[in-house]
């Protein structure tokens, strides 16, 4: 039934017509959004990426029969003229809400079957269904906005780097493993049967090679692939803003990224963010917020109150301190009025989180202290705990004892839950922080060896170099993360730029000389050819766009994402392949 577009040329998009256009002839092309059939009069909205415009087909136009056929998602051409809407039909929520098109001709360019969910209404639809019909989901206003925001943001990012003399350089997708702590996606080679390419977990080695190649400043908006254990909001392929700079200090990289973020937030209309960002040592982040990605929209922080109990009669707490543990407290402003029930709930929640116990303390209305351990610990110790935690008359403190980091993690989790519940995490506020001074290595108990906390190319802090052999676990790295509202949105480091240190690092990671040669020989060789000191960072584009868009899931800012179980529901990938392809690759499937 579809008619040809013939000589029709669009005069306006569906979001463009205004009162000033009244009387003009127009041609609109788009999708039928909604139809309201009033018998002698049919209203319908036409929609495209730019907006929605109301069309009216009147009895005298001879178009009622055509208009009656229209169903949501039909593709139409509307030829007509612009009129003012009658007062009762003005829609102030719509940019085109004061005008409508009196249809002179309606051509159905293509019909559509009944959609599996409504496009016009933001009714709640299961995510599986949305992903199966992603092309329809993408027609919905929220997704249209998110995808447009993503485009605008990437444009700002490209322009920013261009004006700062960066070159955008593509690096290979079929390559060799780059260790970033995940499994590789492998691609079998047909030409070299039995051999495999790995998809890049990041362009790390290539961007460093570009520094060796004298490119000085590199960036790339690049797809990376990580076959990780499934977590709710991870994608097997995701996009990074990858950056590398020669001769740069950590401070210079921070300044660059702070300016980028500042421009980005202004450009997408989220206002001016405060720069420079604050910096927090990794150890402090863990101690004070129980997390290496603290949400600093809420200023509650954990305090160490071990001293309050060293001389007390409270044996359990005293022993914790004597055996190297800590007593930590989270003061909650205004929490002093919490009911017994609320306090019991907090204790129960701590239990659910795996804690052996949670103690609370506060000042009563009479100024006397109250605490779940008042009797065993004594008034003086509890009072001193409140004072050390900096608690005021109205405040409550939650106390956890044991290994310092474990206690802080518990309190940090409660901190987030309480802040969420009390509305202290304002979605319109953006608080950035750099987390610095990460340990270089992490002990992997299962493998009984060290692994790189960031990646094996990260430089140790100069002052700690001596300890590389004697106390590797205590060596700090020149590594940093960028955290926004409790999400890690980027990470990077100053790199090792001499071969000897790089070899030493591989040794520490239990990568022997043979393995180092076969996996990274080309890179070790390159390091000998005049490598400038360099460093960089990668920002998680999907997460940043999600935060800008106010979305909690990165899937809502990716046009064609995979599910949380790494499946493309629309295309049906992964899928079986033709046995012929396997034979060509000399592979056998046991699946
Ligand atoms: N390659 C790192 C990553 O993908 C970032 C960096 O060190 O620049 O996380």
How far apart, in whole angstroms, are the C-alpha atoms of residue 205 and residue 516? 14
How far apart, in whole angstroms, are the C-alpha atoms of residue 458 and residue 436? 13
How far apart, in whole angstroms, are the C-alpha atoms of residue 481 and residue 488? 7
- pLDDT grade for 1, boundaries at 50, 70 and 90: very low
Q: For residues 128 and 569, is the Cβ–Cβ distance under 8 A?
A: yes
Q: Whose CA is nearest to atom 7 of ligand 1?
A: 492
CA of 463 to the centre of ligand 1 (A): 23
Q: Whose CA is nearest to atom 8 of ligand 1?
A: 537
Give the pLDDT of residue 4.
63
Which of 179, 453, 491, 540 to mutate to test ligand 1, by most ligand atoms within 8 A of the CB atom?
A: 491
pLDDT(3) > 70: no
Please compute the mean of the pLDDT values over residues 96-109 and round it to a whole number: 97
Please compute the mean of the pLDDT values over residues 178-186 and round it to a whole number: 91
Please compute the mean of the pLDDT values over residues 493-522 and round it to a whole number: 95
Pocket of ligand 1 (CB under 6 A): 180, 202, 204, 240, 455, 491-493, 536-538
Please compute the mean of the pLDDT values over residues 461-476 and round it to a whole number: 93
DSSP state at residue 302: -
How far apart, in whole angstroms, are the C-alpha atoms of residue 366 and residue 267? 54
Q: For residues 568 and 562, is the Cβ–Cβ distance under 8 A?
A: yes
Cα distances from 199 to residues 175, 184, 188, in angstroms, run 6, 7, 11
State pTM to two decimals: 0.94
Structure tokens at 188: 């079998």
Judged by DSSP in three states, 48 sits in strand
CA of 203 to the centre of ligand 1 (A): 8
How far apart, in whole angstroms, are the C-alpha atoms of residue 359 and residue 373? 7
Q: What integer best gives the mean pLDDT of the chain?
A: 95
Nearest ligand 1 atom, CA 203: 1
pLDDT(375) > 60: yes
Structure tokens at 418: 């309480």
Which of 166, 171, 181, 204 to mutate to test ligand 1, by most ligand atoms within 8 A of the CB atom?
A: 204
Nearest ligand 1 atom, CA 207: 8
Judged by DSSP in three states, 113 sits in coil
Cα 241 to its chain centre, rounded Å, is 12
Q: Whose CA is nearest to atom 4 of ligand 1?
A: 202
Cis ω for the linkage preceding 276 (within 30 of 0): yes
How far apart, in whole angstroms, are the C-alpha atoms of residue 341 and residue 347? 10
Extended beta strands in 453-568, E state: 479-484, 487-494, 534-540
Tens digits of residue pLDDT in 259-304: 999 999 999 999 999 999 999 999 999 999 999 999 999 999 999 9
Structure tokens at 10: 């669009």
CA of 268 to the centre of ligand 1 (A): 25
Which of 224, 240, 435 to mutate to test ligand 1, by most ligand atoms within 8 A of the CB atom?
A: 240
CA of 168 to the centre of ligand 1 (A): 16
Query: What is 308-347 written as a DSSP string?
Result: HHHTSS-HHHHHHHHTT-EEEEEEETTGGG--HHHHHHHH
* Portion of the chain with pLDDT greater than 90, in percent: 91
- pLDDT grade for 450, boundaries at 50, 70 and 90: very high
Structure tokens at 420: 């969420």
Judged by DSSP in three states, 100 sits in strand
Name the more confident of 337 and 258: 258
Q: For residues 361 and 386, is the Cβ–Cβ distance under 8 A?
A: yes
Please compute the mean of the pLDDT values over residues 494-520 and round it to a whole number: 95
Nearest ligand 1 atom, CA 536: 8
Give the pLDDT of residue 7.
80
How far apart, in whole angstroms, are the C-alpha atoms of residue 317 and residue 340? 23
Of 30-34, 135-139, 312-316, 458-462, least confident by mean pLDDT is 312-316
- pLDDT grade for 2, boundaries at 50, 70 and 90: very low
Give the pLDDT of residue 332.
96
Is the dihedral angle over the CA atoms 495, 499, 500, 502 positive or is it negative?
positive
How far apart, in whole angstroms, are the C-alpha atoms of residue 265 and residue 62? 51
Nearest ligand 1 atom, CA 479: 7
CA of 456 to the centre of ligand 1 (A): 11
Tens digits of residue pLDDT in 360-374: 999 988 888 999 999
Nearest ligand 1 atom, CA 224: 4
Of 8-22, 194-208, 300-314, least confident by mean pLDDT is 300-314
Tens digits of residue pLDDT in 115-167: 999 998 878 999 999 999 999 999 999 999 999 999 999 999 999 999 999 99
């Amino acid at each position: 039934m579809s008619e040809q577009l013939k000589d029709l040329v669009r005069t306006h998009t569906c979001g463009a017509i205004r009162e000033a256009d009244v009387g003009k002839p127009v041609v609109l092309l788009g999708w039928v959004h909604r139809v309201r059939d009033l018998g002698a009069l049919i209203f319908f909205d036409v929609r495209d990426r730019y907006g929605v415009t109301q069309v009216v087909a009147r009895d005298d136009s001879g178009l009622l029969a055509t208009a009656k056929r229209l169903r949501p998602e039909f593709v139409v051409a509307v030829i007509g003229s612009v009129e003012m809407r009658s007062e009762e039909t003005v829609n102030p929520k719509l940019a085109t809400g004061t005008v409508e098109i009196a249809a002179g001709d309606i051509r159905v360019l293509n019909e559509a079957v009944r959609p599996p969910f409504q496009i016009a209404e933001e009714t709640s639809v299961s995510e599986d269904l949305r992903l199966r019909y992603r092309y329809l989901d993408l027609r919905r206003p929220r997704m249209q906005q998110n995808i447009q925001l993503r485009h605008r943001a990437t444009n700002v990012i490209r322009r920013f780097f261009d004006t700062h003399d960066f070159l955008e350089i593509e690096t290979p997708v079929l390559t060799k493993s780059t260790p970033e702590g995940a499994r590789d996606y492998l691609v079998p080679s047909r030409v070299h049967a039995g051999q495999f390419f790995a998809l890049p977990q990041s362009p790390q080695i290539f961007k460093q090679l570009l520094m060796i190649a004298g490119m000085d400043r590199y960036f790339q908006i690049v797809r990376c692939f990580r076959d990780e254990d499934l977590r709710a909001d991870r994608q097997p392929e995701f996009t990074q803003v990858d950056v590398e700079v020669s001769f740069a200090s950590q401070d210079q990289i921070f300044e660059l990224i702070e300016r980028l973020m500042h421009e980005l937030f202004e450009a997408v209309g989220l206002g001016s963010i405060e720069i420079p960002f604050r910096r927090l040592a990794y150890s402090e982040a863990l101690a004070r917020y129980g997390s290496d990605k603290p949400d600093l929209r809420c200023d509650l922080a954990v305090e160490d109150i071990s001293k309050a109990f060293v001389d007390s009669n409270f044996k359990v707490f005293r022993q914790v301190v004597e055996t190297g543990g800590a007593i930590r407290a989270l003061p909650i402003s205004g929490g002093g009025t919490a009911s017994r029930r609320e306090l019991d709930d907090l204790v129960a929640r701590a239990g659910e989180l795996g804690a052996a116990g949670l103690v609370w303390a506060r000042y009563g209305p009479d100024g006397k202290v109250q605490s779940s351990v008042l009797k065993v610990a004594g008034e003086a110790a509890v009072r001193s705990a409140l004072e050390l935690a900096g608690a005021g008359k109205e405040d409550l403190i939650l106390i956890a004892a044991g290994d310092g980091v474990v206690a802080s993690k518990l309190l940090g989790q409660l901190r987030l839950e309480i802040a969420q519940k009390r509305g202290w995490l304002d979605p319109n506020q953006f608080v950035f922080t750099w987390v610095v001074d990460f340990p270089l290595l992490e002990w992997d108990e299962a493998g009984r060896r060290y692994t790189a906390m960031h990646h094996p190319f990260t430089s140790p802090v100069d002052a700690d170099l001596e300890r590389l052999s004697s106390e590797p676990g205590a060596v700090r790295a020149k590594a940093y993360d960028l955290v926004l509202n409790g999400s890690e949105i980027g990470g990077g480091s100053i790199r090792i730029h001499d071969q000897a240190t790089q070899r030493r690092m591989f040794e520490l990671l239990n990568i022997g000389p043979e393995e180092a040669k076969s996996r990274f020989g080309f890179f070790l060789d390159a390091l000998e050819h005049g490598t400038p000191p360099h460093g960089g960072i990668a920002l998680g584009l999907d997460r940043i766009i999600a935060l800008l868009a106010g979305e909690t899931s990165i899937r809502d800012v990716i046009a064609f994402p995979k599910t949380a179980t790494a499946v493309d529901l629309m295309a049906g990938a992964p899928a079986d392949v033709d046995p012929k392809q396997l034979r060509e690759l000399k592979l056998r499937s046991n699946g």
